Every structure is written in C-alpha cells, then in structure tokens.
C-alpha cells in the first residue's frame, strides 16, 4: 500500500490541474483520507461500505468504512444524491472533495459529487427465520453442562410427582429444537437465555446467559459454516460500532485502552483455521509450561486456548475436527481412520477463548442410531433419530455466547459486567 504522503502528493497534483473535474480522482483508503493534512478541497475517490445514513431535508450524511480504520469517513452530499439503496452495509464508490470538517467530531469530511452504488445490501435477504426455542425442556440436549431442574415451588421435595409428568430442566441449548425447525424453514436461528448449573466463579461463566444459535439445512462443509460465523462476528461488530459509537468509545477509552486497535486487528484479518490435531502439536511444542499437559483426545483448557490465539497473532482462530470421543453424539463422523474425528468447530478469540461452538450434524440414520445405542440414549432421543428417517438432509449449525461476544468487542474483562442482572453461584440479586 502506498504511504499517506505519496497519495496526498498525487491528490495535490490532481487538484492543481486546470480542469480538475475531468481528471481522474486519486483513490484513497479511509485511513489515508482521515489522516490527510491538506484539506483544501483535493478531489479524491473512496470505496467502502456504508456504516450509517442520516438523511436530512437538504443534506445527506453517510459514514463509510473500508476496513482500513475503525473510524469512518464522513460523507456530506446534496440530498439529490440520496437513494433508497444507500443503506447500512451497501458498498459504494464516492468521488468528491476532501475538506476540513466544520464539526469537532472529525477533522476532515468528503464533500460528495458522485455516489455510485457497487452492491446493494438488503438486510431482510438473510433468510433466517427467528424461532423461540423452549426454556423448559425434558431433555439434556448435549451433555454440555450441569442442569437446573425445576418443580412448582414447595414441591421440590416430592420429585416423584412431576408437574410435567417427567423431570424438567432449564435449556442448555436450543440446538435440537432448531434442528426440528430447520427441517421446515431451512435456515433458522434463536436468541434467548440458556442455563448452566456449574459451580464456576470464572470471569467468563454465568448461570444464566444468552446464546445466538443457528441451524442451516443443506450445508455440506465446515467451510460454509465458518464463513457464516466469520461474517456474523464481523458484521455485528460493524453494526455495533456504527449504531453505538459513543458506548463503544467509552469502553475502549476507560475500560480497555488498546482494545480499539485489537478489535481493528481482528476485523481486518481473515480468521485462521487449524485442526485440533495441529493445535495439540502446537501446544506440545510450546516453550510455555501448562498446568494441564496438552494431549490428543483431551479437551482444550482455557490456558491452551489463550496460547493458541496468541500463537496465531491475536487473530480469531477456528479449531476444527475434534476427537469423536470428546464431542456430543450428534456431531458428524469424519470416518478418518484410527484417529477418528468429527466435523466440529470452535472459534477461539483473543481475551475470551471459546466464543462459538458448532459443527456438521450427523444426518445419516445408521451412524446416529449406532452412536445413540452406544451411549444408551436411543429411547430418550427416538424423536431426534426420527428426524433422520423422514427427509433427512446434510445440515450444521453453531452457537455463540452473547455476553462473551460483548466482552470480546468491548474489551470487558469480567462477564458479570456485560449483563444487567448477572446470575452465578451464591448470587441471585433482585
């Protein structure tokens, strides 16, 4: 990439030409435009995505970003240049004059002469149907953790008389219910509270937390899932930065100095992908002493996750293909011989560790039947097995811990600080 000075020099040359309007404008990155020292009306061109739109009677304000900087470039245009297609997320090319901004919020702004829409962005096209999965459930969906059981108050001591006839628990995941619905709606998601009765006092666990979970039918590869995950992570961060800039600024300034650069680093780079087997090798070759010795076939510990993220240059990293033995029964068998892994994926992020978990689901009846039988779960999960008897399709999905996501983008160290009423062992205030 050219340095700022080189670019500005070419801009200056351009603006000093006799008929500047007919000369091609110099293309600048948003970062270079923001850093420009000369703001006497050089004619430039920027390309990027719209982060916000404010449409007034006579003036149109846009914020445009191209990933070169967390800060966006303000575009000021005559309202005649306005169009319904100028929405959050659409890509544009804007030509105009770089001038000093009259506002204190930014040094420079681009006075637009021409706005060209490169690609529309109609957010309604994502095609995921929002499902309310139940909070009370009669199954322990994935052995993902300890459960809360419930009964009408005062009847806790006589569990043989169940309110629902069967023992009932608070959900640990909406995944299995989403799988039911993905068989009708193809792409579904849920966003709701989930629960763990784990006696953990860590800075990244809550007894009640929110998860975004999605299931997608007709997905054949982890690659497709990882693409959705990476886009979700980045698009949501951009949306938060664009819609709540003051709130983010507050956190980045007073709670987590340096977080702005760390987040920018995550958003600018492609996420990395390594296999579980490679990850264990990396850990084994590490000079660092771990409390838990890394070993193939054993779950990664928090200290391992932190090391791997650091090893990857503090860019979020996907770990794929975990040992079959340490993942739940519904993960798709990779049939890869002696090691025997499943098509599971976790996303590890700086500061937090595991943020997403997901994978391809075992859609083949006989594979699933055998796995359930081996775990003695055939009877309880007969309904789930039936989903593979009638119109089964390759599918996959994932879940993201919402509070951990907030921790990650805001740089908040303790998960109890990103939820209004935190619930954890020994504490249930209000």
Residues that bind a second copy (CB under 8 A): 55, 82-84, 131-139, 146-154, 156-157, 159, 163-170, 176-177, 180-181, 192-193, 195, 197, 199, 207-208, 210, 383, 419-421, 423, 425-430
* Contact predicate 225/360, CB 8 Å: yes
Nearer residue to a second copy within complex by CB, 135 or 273: 135
Nearer to a second copy, 175 or 341 (CB): 175
Nearer to a second copy, 53 or 393 (CB): 53
Is residue 34 classed as helix, strand or coil in its secondary structure? helix
Dihedral pair phi/psi, residue 58, rounded to 5°: -115, -15
**Is 176 exposed, middle or buried (CB count within 10 Å of its CB: 0-12, 13-18, 19+)?**
buried
Question: CB of 113: closest distance to a second copy in angstroms?
Answer: 20
Provide CB contacts within 8 A for 371, sequence distance 6+. Answer: 329, 330, 333, 362
The least CB distance from residue 236 to a second copy, in Å, is 15
Task: List the one residue out of 62, 53, 58 whose CA is nearest residue 80.
Answer: 58
CB of 82 to a second copy, least distance (A): 6
**Taking the complex as a whole, how short is the minimal distance between the CB of residue 224 and a second copy, in angstroms?**
26
Dihedral through CA 132, CA 137, CA 142, CA 147, nearest 10?
A: 120
Minimum CB separation from a second copy for residue 76, in Å?
16
Instruction: Write down the least CB distance from residue 384 to a second copy, Å.
Output: 8
Nearer residue to a second copy within complex by CB, 147 or 415: 147
Is residue 269 packed enough to be buried (19+ CB in 10 Å), middle (13-18) or exposed (0-12)?
A: middle
Cα angle 315, 355, 252 (rounded to 5 degrees) comes to 65
Question: Any idea what the Cα angle at residue 368 is, between residues 232 and 360, rounded to 5°?
Answer: 15
Shorter beta-carbon distance to a second copy: residue 22 or 84: 84
129 or 325: CB nearest a second copy:
129
């Amino acid at each position: 990439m050219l340095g700022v000075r080189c670019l500005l020099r070419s801009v200056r040359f351009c603006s000093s030409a006799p008929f500047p309007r007919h000369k091609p404008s110099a293309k600048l990155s948003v970062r270079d435009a923001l850093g420009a020292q000369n703001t006497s009306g050089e004619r430039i061109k920027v390309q990027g995505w719209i982060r916000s739109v404010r449409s007034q009677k006579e003036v149109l304000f846009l914020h445009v970003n191209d990933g070169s900087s967390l800060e966006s470039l303000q575009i000021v245009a005559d309202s005649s240049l306005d169009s319904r297609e100028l929405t959050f997320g659409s890509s544009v090319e804007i030509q105009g004059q770089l001038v000093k901004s009259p506002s204190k919020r930014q040094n420079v702004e681009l006075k637009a002469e021409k706005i060209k829409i490169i690609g529309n962005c109609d957010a309604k096209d994502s095609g995921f149907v929002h499902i309310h999965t139940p909070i009370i459930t009669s199954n322990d969906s994935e052995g993902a953790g300890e459960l809360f059981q419930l009964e009408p108050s005062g009847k806790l001591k006589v569990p043989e008389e169940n309110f629902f006839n069967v023992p009932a628990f608070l959900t640990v995941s909406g995944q299995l219910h989403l799988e039911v619905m993905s068989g009708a709606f193809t792409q579904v998601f849920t966003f709701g509270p989930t629960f763990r009765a784990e006696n953990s006092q860590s800075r990244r666990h809550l007894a009640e937390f929110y998860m975004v979970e999605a299931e997608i039918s007709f997905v054949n590869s982890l690659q497709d899932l990882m693409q959705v995950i990476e886009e979700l992570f980045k698009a949501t961060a951009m949306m938060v930065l664009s819609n709540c800039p003051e709130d983010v600024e507050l956190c980045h300034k007073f709670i987590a100095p340096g977080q702005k650069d760390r987040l920018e680093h995550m958003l600018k780079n492609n996420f990395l992908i390594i296999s579980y087997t490679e990850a264990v090798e990396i850990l084994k070759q590490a000079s660092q002493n771990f409390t838990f010795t890394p070993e193939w076939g054993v779950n990664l510990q928090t200290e391992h996750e932190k090391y791997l993220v650091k090893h990857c240059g503090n860019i979020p990293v996907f770990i794929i293909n975990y040992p079959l033995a340490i993942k739940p029964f519904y993960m798709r068998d990779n049939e890869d011989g002696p090691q025997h892994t499943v098509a599971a994926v976790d996303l590890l992020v700086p500061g937090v560790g595991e943020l997403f978990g997901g994978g391809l689901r075992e859609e083949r009846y006989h594979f699933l039947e055998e796995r359930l039988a081996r775990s003695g779960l055939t009877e309880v999960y007969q309904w789930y097995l039936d989903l593979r008897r009638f119109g089964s399709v390759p599918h996959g999905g994932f879940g993201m811990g919402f509070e951990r996501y907030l921790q990650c983008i805001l740089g908040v160290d303790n998960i109890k600080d990103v939820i209004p009423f935190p619930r954890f062992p020994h504490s249930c205030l209000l």
